[in-house]
Chain A
Amino acid sequence: MVLRFRKLYFTEPTLSKSYESYETPKDEKKQATEKPKAEKKQEKGERNKKRIRWGCVNSCCWFIGCMCTTWWLLLFLYHCLPANLGVLKGPEPPGVRLKNEGLTALHPVVLVPGMVTVGLELWEGRPCSQGFFRKRLWGGSFTGILNRPLCWLEHLSLDKETGLDPPGIRVRPVPGLVAADYFAPGYFVWAVLIENLASIGYEGKNMYMATYDWRLSFQNTEIRDQTLSRLKANIELMYVTNGNKKVVVVPHSMGVTYFLHFLKWVEAPPPMGGGGGPGWCDKYIKSIMNIGPAFLGIPRAVSSMLSAEGKDVALIRSMDPGFLDSEILGLKTMEHMMRVIRTWDSVISLLPKGGDPIWGDLDSAPEEGHVCGFETKGFFQSNSRENNDSRNKDTRPRIEIKHGAKYGRMISFGKEASEQHSSKLHKVAPMELMQAVSNATCGEVWTEYGKINRQNIQKLADNKAYTAETFIDLLRYVAPKTMQRAEAHFSHGIATDLDDPKYGHYKYWSNPLETKLPYAPDMEIYSLYGVGLPTERSYVYKLSPSDKCDSIPFRIDSSAEGGCLRGGVYFTDGDECVPVISAGFMCAKGWRGKTRFNPSGIATYIREYQHSPPSLLEGRGLKSGHHVDIMGNAALIEDVLRVAAGASGEEIGGDKIYSDILRMSDRVNIEL
C-alpha cells in the first residue's frame, strides 16, 4: 500500500509538470526523453539508497501523516461548508409542511420510550467503574463495554433475588429528552419526531420524555424511583400550564405496556396506586398513540429468555460457529448475556400474553395462511391477500398443513416437530418434567441452567413442541427463580371474569387481556405500526452439542429452512420485532366498540405503515416500517402532529390497514 502511494507520488510531478508549465512543452519533453541513461541509473541507485534510508517506520509515518492531513483538510472543508449548501435537500419534513398549513402546538405531548432505547447512567458503582459517574453505561457510544466488559455487565445486571439494585450499585435512567433522542450517536430514536414537533411549536414546556428504568418491572420503577408519580405530576403540570389542554401520549414498543400499567396505577388508590381517582385519565388524556405496540408480547422475548439469542445472533452463530461460544477464550458471551437478561424483570413482560387463544395452539394460529415473500424484497401484500381469500373460501385448514407454518408452536425441537400434525407429536406430561433438580453447581455464570441435569434437558426436548401456554411452564422449569420473581409483577393469562377482585393487583395492570381500560369515553387509542417486514414468530430449536457445565443447552437450529422458516425462525408479517397480531389485535377487536376490556367504549384506530426500504441517500428511510425506524416515518409523524394539534381519529382518516389484521382477529376466538 505504502509503496503504491509512493509510486503514485513519484510519477505525479513529471505528469503534472507538463501541464503546469505549458509555455515550454518542448523543453520539458526534451528533458524527459533525453535524459542520459547513466544519469537515470544514478538516480535509480540514489533512490534505492534513499529507500533504505526511509525505512519502514518512516514510510508508515509518512503514510499516516498523509492520511491525517487529507482527513483534516476534508474536515476543514466540511466545516467551512455553509450549513445549508451542498446538502442534497430531501423532501420537506412533515413538520415544516404542516406548519405552513397552519398547524400549531395545542396539546402537550408525552413521549414514553420503549425498552433498550433509553440511556442508563451510573450513580454509584464498584471500584472498577471509577470515572463513569453520571456517564452512560447504556446508550451513547458504549465505551464501557470495550474497556471493561465484565465490570459493565456486573453494573447492568440487577439483583437476582429482588429484581432491584444490587448492593453498592446504582444505575439510573437518564432524564429528559436526551435520554432517548439518539440511542447511539447518529442512530435516532425520537430525535426526528421531536424535531418535527418542535417545528410546529413544541418545546421543553409542552413535551415530556417519560423515561424509566426499562430493566425493572413496572411497579418497581415506582417503588425505587417513583417514576410513575413523576409521570403523573408532569402530566398534571403540563395540563395546567398549557391552558387545561389534555395531553397526547406517544408510547413506543414496551412503553405501550408501561403506559397501560400507568393508566391503571394512576386511578388505583394508594398505597398500590397513584390515587388519582376514577376519571383521572378522562380529565388529563386526550389520546394514546401507541407506536409499534407490543400489547400481547413478542415472540422474540421467548428466544431471548430461553437461549439469549434472536434472529441476528442465530445468524452470527451459523456464520461463525466458534465465535460466540468459544470456551477457549473463556468468553462465554451468550451465557453472560443470558445471566444479565434474566435479571431484568421487564423482559418477562414481553412474553406472549393470552396463551393459546391468541397465539394459536399446536395446529392452528390466527396467522395461518400467511405467505412469506422472502424471494422478493418485502412482501407483496396484495398477492398474499388474494391467496388468503381463495384459500379461506374453499380449502381451509387441512391443506394448509403442507405449506403453512404452524405458528402456534412457539418452540419446536427439530424441523420435523414443527411441521407434523399434533397427533403425531411425542408428548411428555408436564408432571414428568417437574423432577428433581440436580445439584450440579457451576459458579461464575449464573444462568440457572447449571442446576438442571442433562437427562431432564433431554426430556424437555422430547416434548417436541411448546405453545404460548406450555412455554411458560417450560420457562418455569428451566428458570424457576427468574419466573418466580417476575411472576409477582407480570401475568400472561387471559381473564375470564374481569370483575374478580384479584385483578386489582398490579401484576395484571400491564396485560390488556386482564384489565379494563379506564372510564374515559372521550379518549382515543391508536395503534400505529409498521407492516411488510418478516417478523420472528416461532422457533425451531435443537440441543446444543456442548456438554459443558453451565452452558446454554438449547439453541436455535439455524440450519432449518423452508417456506416461512429461515435460519430456524418462522416469520410472519410485522415490523421486524412485533408481529401484527400483537400490535393490532387489541385495537382491531379486543377494544373495538364497547367490550368487556373497554367498558366505556374508548375509540380505537389502527394505522398501519407499509414498509418500503430507503433509497441510498435517505438514511434510515422516510417510509420505513421497521420497529424503531418507523419513528422517522413521515406519514406516522404527520399523524402524530395532526393529533397533537387537535385533530381526532376520524379527522386523520380513521383506520388505515394493509395487513390481514382484521381477518386474523376474527379467527381469535375470545369472549368480548
Chain B
Amino acid sequence: MALIIRRRKPTDEDDSSLLRQEEEEEEVKRGNSRRRIKVKNYSCLDNCCWLIGCICTVWWLLLFLYNTMPASFPQYMTEKITGPLPDPPGVKCVKEGLEAKHPVVFVPGIVTGGLELWEGHECAEGLFRKRLWGGTFGEVYKRPSCWLQHMSLHNETGLDPSGIRIRPVSGLVAADYFAPGYFVWAVLIANLARVGYEEKNMYMAAYDWRLSFQNTEVRDQTLSRIKSNIELMVQVNGGQKAVIIPHSMGVLYFLHFMKWVEAPVPMGGGGGSDWCAKHIKAVMNIGGPLLGAPKALAGLFSAEAKDVAFARGMAPGVLDSDVFHIQTLQHIMRMSRTWDSTMSMIPKGGETIWGGLDWAPEEGGYVPNNILNITTSPHSHNHSDIYDHARDPNPNYGRFISFGRDAAESHSSQIQRIDFRGALKGSNSANRTCREVWTEYHDMGSGGIKAIAGYKTYTADDVVDMLEFVAPKMMKRGNAHFSHGLADNLDDPKYAHYRYWSNALETKLPNAPDMEIYSMYGVGIPTERAYVYKLTRASECYIPFQIDTTAGHANPHVCLKDGVYTVDGDETVPALSAGFMCAKGWRGKTRFNPSGIKTYVREYNHNPPSNFLEGRGTESGAHVDILGNFQLIEDVIRVAAGEEVGGDRVSTDIFKWSEKINLKL
C-alpha cells in the first residue's frame, strides 16, 4: 500500500533531499512506467480497477445474454457447424415405440462414486455431508493432509479409522457426474428417462468403493440394501425382472453380490438358490475388468500408471520433489493402499490367462499406436520365427513387470532370475524419518529392493507373490477378501467363502438359465498391459521403483511407449480381461456357468470426437466415456425395454485370443 501511495505523490519541485532520494529509488524500481502513469495522471490502481471493472461488466453481460439465450441455441449452432446431429438414442427408441419395461439398476465402478463426510476430525469442520470425493474436490487444495487423513481407511482392518465416517452418497446423484461437467452415468440416465424411466424404476447401487466387497455389507449393509431395492422394484413394476448395468469395478461387485445373495446367512443374504433367476433379467457389464486390470498392479506397486509416469518423464522434479516435502506419490500410495478394493483388480487367473514368460494370448494381434487406423488382422510374424530371435520384436505381454528393457525383450532362457521369495529385506535406515508418509516400502531395506529387481521379470503368477513381499500387511488384509487364482475343482467347499465370490474363475454363476450376461466394452485404444520398471535413485522416503519412461521402441509395430506395453482395450481394461469370460469362460454350459446362461460380447470401436463441440464424443470407446456412446446406450435401452440387440458384435480378435488360453471348461 505504501508504495502505491508514494507513487501518487504530488510532483512539485519542492526541495527535500529525502524526498528526492525516495523518488529516485522509485525511479529505479518503476522505470518508465511511473512516467506514463504521471502523464495519464491516474495511477496503476485506478487502471487495475478500471480493467477489472470492464472485465466484470463484460462478463456479466455475457452471462446475462447466456442466461436469456433460448436453451436450444447451442444445439442449433452445433448443427449449423457440423450438420444435423443424430438423434440421441433415447429419442430414437421412443420413435420406435420402445417403453420402459424392466427396472434398471446401475452399479458404479471404482472412483466414480461420490463419498461424503459424516463424522470427522476437527480439521474437517464444516464439511458435514459435503463431498470429499467427487464434485469439485475443493478440499484437496484447501486442506490436503486433512483430506488424505479422512480418505484413508484403517490400515489393519480396512474399515473406518476411529472418529472418521466417510460414506457413499446415495441415489442417482452419487455417480451421475463425477465432477461438474464430467458425466459418468448422466447421459445414460437422461436417455433412459426419455423412454419413461424415473426414480421408481431406476436405482443407483452406490457403495463405498474403497472397502472390500464383503465389508460394504459388514459396515453399511449395502448388499442387503441392493437386494431389498431390487426386490422392491421387481415387485412394484409388475414382476418385471431387473436389468443390471454394472460398470468397471461394479462388475466384480455385482458378481460378488450374485453369490452373496444366494448364499445362506450369516455370510450371505439368504435369498435362496433361485433368487437371481427370479429377479434378474440381464447383467450388462460395461468395461468390466472381470480378470483384473494391469493398471491396478502398477498403481499398487508404485502408485503410478501411464499418465503419472508420463508426467514424471516430462518434469522429473515435480512429483518427487524432496525439497518441498510434498511427496505426493507417497501420500497417494499410502492412501490407496488402505483401500482394499484396489486389490480386487489385480490380474486373476495367473499365467493360464495372462501368459507366461514367452507367450501371451494377445501376441501377434498388436495395436498400432495410430489409433485411428485399427487393423485387427494378426501381425505377419510367424510364431515359429519369433522364438528364433534372441530379441524378438514381439512384446512379451506375459511379463507384467520387467526390470529394464533387456529383461522385457530377451528370450526367457537368457534371463538370469534370482528368486526374491525368502530374501532378506534388510532394514531401512530411513525408517524413523519416514513416519509421516508410511508406505510399506519403508520397512524394507536395500536388500529387499535388490531382491525384487534381481528377479527381473514377473508374470501374473509372480506378481501376487511379489506384492506380498513388498506390502505384506496390505496383502494380508486383501487376501482375506479377494483371491486371484484359478479353481481346479469348483465343488471344493472352500469356494463357498466370500473371498472367492468376486473372482469369475473361482465361482460358478448362479442357476438362472433365463438370465443373460453381456460384456460391453470399448476397443481401439492402447491399453496398459505390461511395464518396464527401473530402480529410483536411492534416497529417503522414496518409492524405490518407477516406470522407466525412457523405454520406447523404434519399431512402430511394438507397442512399447514410455515404459508401458499396450494392447487393445478401452484405455484401462484390456479387451482380454473384459471379454474372455463372455467369449469363452462362460460361453455355453461350462463348469463356470453350469446352467448355461447366455453370454454376449459387444465391442464398441473407439472413434474420437470429430470436433470440440461433441465434447467427449458419442462414439467413444474409452473406459468412462463409453457411457456416453450412443450405440451402447441404444443397446441398453433395447434390453431394458425387453427387445433383442442381436448377438455378438466383435471387432477384435477376442475369440482368437480366447482360443489360445488353455483353460479347462
Contacts and interface: CB of A to CB of B under 8 A. Distances in A.
Nearest to B67: A147
A267 B51 CA distance: 70
Given A46-B41, A205-B220, 5 more contacts: A20-B6, A31-B10, A50-B42, A65-B49, A173-B199
A124 B224 CA distance: 31
- A-B CB proximity, top 4 nearest: A65-B53, A61-B53, A65-B49, A65-B52
Interface of A: 12-13, 16-17, 20-21, 23-24, 27, 30-31, 34-35, 39, 43, 46, 50, 54, 58, 60-66, 68-69, 79, 83-84, 123-124, 127, 130-131, 133-134, 147, 170, 172-173, 175-178, 181, 194-195, 198-199, 203-205, 225-226, 229-230, 233-234, 236-237, 240-241
Contacts of A27: 14, 16, 18-19
B385 interface: no
B200 A226 contact: yes
B14 A34 contact: yes
A37 to B, nearest CB: 12
B122 interface: yes
Contacts of A199: 119
A438 B18 CA distance: 95
Given A13-B8, A13-B9, A198 B128 contact: yes
Given A83-B126, A198-B128, A233 B231 contact: yes
- Choose among B12, B48, B199 the residue with the greatest number of A CB atoms under 10 Å from its CB: B199
Contacts of A173: 199
B433 interface: no
A21 B25 CA distance: 15
Interface of B: 2, 5-6, 8-10, 12, 14, 16, 18-19, 41-42, 46, 48-54, 56-57, 67, 71-72, 118-119, 122-123, 125-126, 128-129, 142, 165, 167-168, 170-173, 176, 189-190, 193-194, 198-200, 220-221, 224-225, 228-229, 231-232, 235-236
Contact of A60 (B48, B53, B224, B225): B53
A671 B51 CA distance: 78
Secondary structure call for the A interface: helix
A66 B171 CA distance: 43
B49 A62 contact: yes
Contacts of B9: 13, 17
A239 to B, nearest CB: 11
B57 A64 contact: yes
A124 B99 CA distance: 14
A237 B53 contact: no
Contact of B220 (A20, A204, A237): A204
A69 B224 contact: no
Given A62-B50, A147-B67, A226-B236, A13 B129 contact: no
A65 B50 CA distance: 6
A13 B118 contact: no
B53 A68 contact: yes
Contacts of B52: 64-65, 68-69
A130 B200 contact: no
A431 to B, nearest CB: 46
Contacts of A181: 129
B224 A240 contact: yes
B198 A178 contact: no
A29 to B, nearest CB: 11
29 contacts: A13-B9, A20-B2, A20-B5, A30-B16, A31-B14, A31-B16, A46-B41, A58-B50, A60-B53, A62-B46, A62-B50, A62-B53, A66-B49, A69-B48, A83-B126, A123-B193, A130-B71, A134-B176, A147-B67, A176-B170, A176-B173, A199-B119, A203-B118, A204-B170, A229-B232, A230-B232, A237-B225, A237-B228, A241-B221
Contacts of B189: 134
B224 A241 contact: yes
A178 B176 CA distance: 15
B599 to A, nearest CB: 32
A68 B200 contact: no
Contacts of A16: 5
B199 A172 contact: yes
A231 to B, nearest CB: 10
B41 A50 contact: yes
A195 B128 contact: yes
Contacts of B71: 130-131
Nearest to B174: A176
Contacts of A195: 128-129
A176 B171 contact: yes
A2 to B, nearest CB: 11
A146 B207 CA distance: 37
B291 to A, nearest CB: 32
- Choose among A46, A61, A68, A240 the residue with the greatest number of B CB atoms under 10 Å from its CB: A61
Contacts of B18: 23-24, 27
A556 B46 CA distance: 56
Contacts of B231: 233
A78 to B, nearest CB: 12
Contact of B199 (A175, A177, A203): A175
Contacts of A172: 198-199
Contacts of A17: 5-6, 9
- Choose among A64, A79, A147, A195 the residue with the greatest number of B CB atoms under 10 Å from its CB: A64
Contacts of A65: 48-54, 56
Contacts of A225: 199-200
A229 B232 CA distance: 8
A532 to B, nearest CB: 31
A84 B118 contact: no
A60 B49 CA distance: 10
Nearest to A171: B198
Contacts of A83: 123, 125-126
A587 to B, nearest CB: 32
B590 to A, nearest CB: 35
A131 B236 CA distance: 30
Given A176-B170, A176-B171, A204-B170, A61 B54 contact: yes
A632 to B, nearest CB: 15
A650 B161 CA distance: 37
A230 B9 CA distance: 74
B224 A237 contact: yes
A178 B173 contact: yes
Nearest to A148: B71
A40 to B, nearest CB: 10
A380 B71 CA distance: 55
Nearest to B19: A27
B286 to A, nearest CB: 21
Contacts of A229: 232, 235-236
B167 A203 contact: yes
B197 to A, nearest CB: 8
Contacts of A30: 14, 16
B275 to A, nearest CB: 16
A124 B197 CA distance: 10
A234 B227 CA distance: 11
Nearest to A122: B193
Contacts of B67: 147
- Choose among B10, B67, B190 the residue with the greatest number of A CB atoms under 10 Å from its CB: B10
Contacts of A226: 200, 236
Contacts of A58: 50
A198 B125 CA distance: 14
A287 B271 CA distance: 30
Contacts of B119: 198-199
Nearest to A143: B67
B12 A61 contact: no
A50 B41 CA distance: 8
Contacts of A170: 198
A24 B16 contact: yes
A84 B126 CA distance: 8
A50 B16 CA distance: 28
A83 B50 CA distance: 33
A166 B172 CA distance: 25
Nearest to B124: A83
A61 B167 CA distance: 47
A205 B225 contact: yes
